[in-house]
Amino acid sequence: MRGKVTAEDSAAAWKGVADRFPALRRTVNAHRLVYLDTAATAQKPDAVISAEKSYYEESNANVHRGIHTLAEEATAAYENCRKRAGELVGAPSPSSVVITRNATAALNMVARGLEHTLREGDEILLTEMEHHANLVPWIMLARRTGVVLKHIPITDGGLLDLGKLPELIGPRTRLVSLVHVSNVLGTINPVAEVAEAAHRAGALVVVDAAQGVGHMPVAMEELGADVLVYSAHKCYGPMGLGFLVAQPGLLEEMEPMEGGGEMINEVFLDRATWAEPPHKFEAGTPNVAAAAAFPPALDLLESLGLDAVRRHEEELVAHALQTLATLDGLVVYGPHDPKLRGGLVAFHDPEVHPHDMATLLDQAGVAVRAGHHCAQPLHRRLGVVATTRASFGIYSTKDDIDALAEGIRFARRYFSP
Amino acid sequence: MNMNALDQLYREVILDHHRHPRGRHRLHQVDVEASGLNPSCGDEVTLQLELDGDRIRDVAVDGRGCAVSTASGSILAELVTGLTIPEARRIAEHFKQVMHGEEIPDEVDLGDLEALTGVRKFPVRVKCALLPWITLLDAALTDAENRPAEPVNTEEEGS
C-alpha cells in the first residue's frame, strides 16, 4: 500500500462509509436492504460508479494502439490500474501483473500456461476447501496431461490438516494451489506455512486470494506466493476485472492461453512471436472502463486503512458467531475463533433449507447466499448439500447481523409445524 | 415482512406436503429408478416407480431439497400414482409449461400442483418446483434404452 494513513484520517473516512454506496440506499420488499452477500460481490462506492461513467464520457478509446489523446488517456488509465492492483498485494513490479476477466480466468491461465512444464505422474496439491475455480482448471489439466491431483484434507474444525502435509508433498509435487480465505468456512489459511513446505520440495505456490484481498492486508511475499490471483469486484471495484500476479520469471515461462491482437510481437501468415509479459497474456480488447474504475475503490480502502478494514470485519464475525450461537441447533461451519476467519459465516439450519431461508430473508430485505457456493466437494465433506452464507464488508454493521438473526427466527417460526 | 408474496409461494398445502411428504416408503418392486439434480443448489431427488404394464402402481420419492422441491415431489407421488404413463406425462408436460409461463394453469386439472404455480413469482425457485417433474419426464418415463445414465440436470432443462 502507498502512504500511511493516520488514525484520525482513518476515523474520518469510516464516518458514514455506508453512505458512499448508492445500492445500499434502496429498499427490498419494503425493507431497508441489508446486504450480506459481499463474498459473492461487494457493492460499489459512488466513486467507482462515476469513474466508469466518466471513462466512457471522456476517454473511451482502445488501449495501446491509437496515437491520439483519447487513446493515450485510456492507455494511461489501464496501466495505472495495473500498477495500483499490483501495489495492493505487493507485486514485484507492474509488469508482473496480468489483467484478466476475473480470478477464475487467472487460475485457468496459470493451469494452461504451465501445462507444457508438467508430465504424466507429476503431482498438483490442492485442498478440500477450494472453490470450483481452483479445482476445475486442474481437473481439466489432469485430463489433458495425466498429472495427479492430491488434496489437503480439512479437520472437523474447518482448518487445513497440516499434519498430513509431509505425506502429501513429495518429489513429484510440482505445484500447490490453495485458497487464502475459504468462501464457505471463512478460514484464513496459514498459506506461508504450506508455501514453505512446497518450496522445500521445489513446487510452485499459487494462491487464490479472491476473498482476502481488499478485506485485510495481503502481501504475496509474506504468503510465499509465486502466483496470486484476485478479482476487483470482491473488493468494491467493478465487475469483469481480475489479476494474475506472478514472481519474476514465471510469466516468461508460462505459455499464453489465448492468441490474437495485442499479445504479439510479430505475426506472419504461418507463425508469430509473442509480446513480452504481461501483454502476451492479454489478447484482444480488455475491459478498460473497469480498469479505469478500480483505483477509486483502492483509494477508499487506503483512506480507511486495510488494518482497520480487517478489524471491522473481525468484530462483525465475532458478533455474528455470538448471535448465531443463540439459535438452538444452528450449525455454523469453520473455526470458532474470529481471528482465524475472514468476514463471512456459513451455516445450516436443520429446520429450514437454505433456499427457503434465503427466500424468507429476502422478504425481510436481507440478502444472503444459499447453495453450495461453488464448493461442492467441501459441502460433501461437511455432509450437507447446501448452506446459507452471510458475508460482510466495510459498510456492514452489527445491526445488519441482528436483522439476519431476526430473519432466521422468523423463518423458523414460519416453517415450524 | 411481505407476507402476501410469501404466502403465495408457501401456500398451506405446500407447507403440509413439506412437513409430511408423501411417497417416502419402500416399493414392493422397483421397475424404474431415476435421479435428478439441481446443480445450482445441489438439491437431489430419486424417483422409483412400480409399474403394472402401462400403469404406475406406486411411486417412491427420496432426496434432499427445499420446501418447494420436497412438496413438489410429494405432490408428484400423490398425483401420478394410479395413472398410466401417457397420463402422467401429460400432467408433467403441462406443469412444466405452466411454470415457464407458456400455459394457463386450469387447462389440465393439476390438483395440489396448482398451489405450486405461485412459485412463478420467484423465478429462481422455479427449478426447485420442476426438479421432481423433469426427473419423471426425462428419465423415469423414458424408454429404458434412452434413459440417461447420469442424473437429470435442471440446468439442461430448456427454460
What CATH number corresponds to the domain at position B62?
Answer: 3.90.1010.10
Average pLDDT, chain B: 87
On the question of pLDDT at B156 being above 60, the answer is no
Looking at residue A2, its pLDDT comes to 52
Q: Does B44 touch chain A (CB under 8 A)?
A: yes
d(CA A100, CA B153): 31
Please name the residues between 23 and 62 in chain A that touch chain B, using a CB distance below 8 Å: 29-30
Q: Which CATH number characterizes residue A291's domain?
A: 3.40.640.10
State the pLDDT confidence band at A85, using cuts at 50, 70 and 90: very high
Confirm whether B159 is domain-assigned: no
Which residue range(s) make up the domain with A176? 50-300
Residue A150 is assigned to a structural domain of this protein:
yes
CB pairs under 8 A between A and B: 53
- Evaluate whether A77 touches A291 at the Cβ level (below 8 Å): yes
Helices (H), chain B: 3-9, 12-19, 67-80, 85-99, 126-135
In this structure, the answer to whether residues A97 and A135 fall within a common structural domain is: yes
The terminus-to-terminus CA distance of chain B in angstroms comes to 30
Residue A36 cell numbers, joined: 450480506
Judged by CB atoms closer than 8 Å, whether chains meet at B41 and A355 is answered as yes
B15 at interface of A, judged by CB pairs closer than 8 A = yes
Cell representation of residue A306: 486495510
> Is B87 within a domain?
yes
C-alpha distances in angstroms, A344 versus A98, A112, A165, A191, A341? 28, 31, 27, 19, 8
- Minimum mean pLDDT range among A101-110, A355-364, B110-119: B110-119
Given the residues A374, A377, A402, A415, the one annotated as active site: A374
Within a domain: B148: yes
Contact A385 B66 (CB under 8 A): no
Q: Does A370 touch chain B (CB under 8 A)?
A: yes
**Whether residue A319 is found in the same domain as residue A181:** no
pLDDT score recorded for residue A293? 98
Query: A137-142 long-range CB contacts below 8 Å, 24 or more apart?
Result: A137/A104, A137/A107, A137/A108, A137/A110, A137/A111, A137/A112, A138/A111, A138/A177, A140/A111, A141/A111, A141/A112, A141/A115
Evaluate whether residue B144 is within a structural domain. yes
User: What is the model's pTM?
Assistant: 0.93
Which residue of chain B is at minimal alpha-carbon distance from A350? B66
Q: Is residue B19 part of a domain?
A: yes
Contact: A415, B5; criterion CB under 8 Å: no
Q: Do A98 and A109 form a contact (C-beta atoms < 8 A)? A: yes
Q: Do A139 and A190 fall within a single domain?
A: yes
Cβ pair B80, B136 in contact under 8 A:
yes
In the predicted model, is pLDDT for residue A117 greater than 90?
Answer: yes
Within this chain, do residues A27 and A162 fall inside the same structural domain, yes or no?
A: no
- Give the span between the Cα atoms of A389 and B28, in whole angstroms: 41
Do A271 and A293 sit in the same domain of this protein? Answer: yes
Q: Are residues A224 and A335 in the same domain?
A: no
β-bridge partners, A391: A37, A344
Test B67 with A415 for CB contact under 8 angstroms: yes
Indicate the residue among A267, A300, A333 that finishes a domain: A300
Q: Sorting pLDDT into bands at 50, 70 and 90, what band is B105?
A: low
Cβ atoms within 10 Å, residue B117: 19
Last residue of a domain, one of A283, A300, A317: A300
| Residue B9 pLDDT level (bands cut at 50, 70, 90) | confident
Q: Between residues 68 and 127 of chain B, which touch chain A (CB distance below 8 Å)?
A: 68, 70, 122, 125
Other residues' Cβ atoms within 10 Å of the Cβ of residue A59: 19
Q: Is residue B1 pLDDT above 80, yes or no?
A: no
Distance (Å, rounded) from C-alpha A284 to C-alpha A50?
Answer: 25
Query: Is B114 domain-assigned?
Result: yes
Q: How many domains does one find in chain B?
A: 1
Choose one of A300, A319, A341: the last residue of a domain: A300
Which of A13-17, A308-312, A322-326, B7-11 has the lowest average pLDDT?
Answer: B7-11
pLDDT score for A222: 98
Query: Which CATH number goes with the domain that contains A322?
Result: 3.90.1150.10
Say yes or no: B67 contacts chain A, CB-CB below 8 A. yes
> For residue B70, what is the nearest residue in chain A, using CA coordinates?
A353
A326 plus A203 within the same structural domain? no
In a domain, B158, yes or no: no
* Structure confidence by residue, pLDDT tens digits, A121-178: 999 999 999 999 999 999 999 999 999 999 999 999 999 999 999 999 999 999 999 9
Tally Cβ neighbours within 10 Å of residue B34. Answer: 21
> Does residue A273 share a domain with residue A182?
yes
Domain count, chain A: 2
Q: Is residue A263 part of a domain?
A: yes
Residues A294 and A317 in one domain: no
Q: How far apart are CA B85 and CA B143, in angstroms?
A: 11
- The reply to whether residue B43 touches residue A370, judged by beta carbons under 8 angstroms, is no
- pLDDT for the residue B6: 85
Answer yes or no: A235 catalytic.
no
pLDDT tens sequence across B43-86? 899 999 999 999 999 999 998 889 999 999 999 999 999 999 99
Report the C-alpha gap between B153 and B135 in whole angstroms. Answer: 8
**Lowest pLDDT segment from A106-110, A294-298, A407-411, B101-105:** B101-105
Percent share of chain A, pLDDT over 70 = 99
Q: Within this chain, do residues A391 and A336 fall inside the same structural domain, yes or no?
A: yes
Print the domain residue range for B137.
3-153
Each residue's pLDDT tens digit, A123-133? 999 999 999 99
Instruction: Note the pLDDT of residue A3.
Output: 55
* Contact between residue A341 and residue A392 where contact means Cβ atoms under 8 Å apart: no
Give the amino acid at A307: D
Tens digit of each residue's pLDDT (9 = 90 or more) over A245-256: 999 999 999 999
pLDDT over threshold 70, residue A241: yes
CB-based contacts of A76, cutoff 8 Å, min separation 6:
none
> What letters, b where the CB count within 10 A reaches 16 and e where it falls short, cover A145-181?
bebeebbbebeeebbbeeeebeebbeeebbbbbbbbb
